[in-house]
Structure 1
């Protein structure tokens, strides 16, 4: 019983870590896209 809970906990933590890193990568990509787009598009 406890072993199963332990495995689920570890898997959950790993998934959470991967999801956070993916989210961080997406945020940085979006931020860089905005920075690239702003100077030309907004002023013209």
Structure 2
């Protein structure tokens, strides 16, 4: 059974993947900035 992946060559898929990766990256940075950094600062005191 051959699967045709040519339907995923449209630029909209690249845009959607980029948006998803960007969202996850921003979410990771905010999580570190809002939770990990204060935890490290307060445990060091």
Give the TM-score normalised by structure 2: 0.62
Matching residue of 2:3 = none
Per-residue CA shift, 1:3-43, capped at 9, x if unaligned?
xx37x621111000000110000000011121023322x35
Distance in 2 of aligned mates of 1:9 and 1:20:
18
Please identify runs of 4+ aligned residues in structure 1 that moved more than 6 A: none
Aligned to 1:35: 37
TM-score, normalised via structure 1 length: 0.63
More helix by share: 1
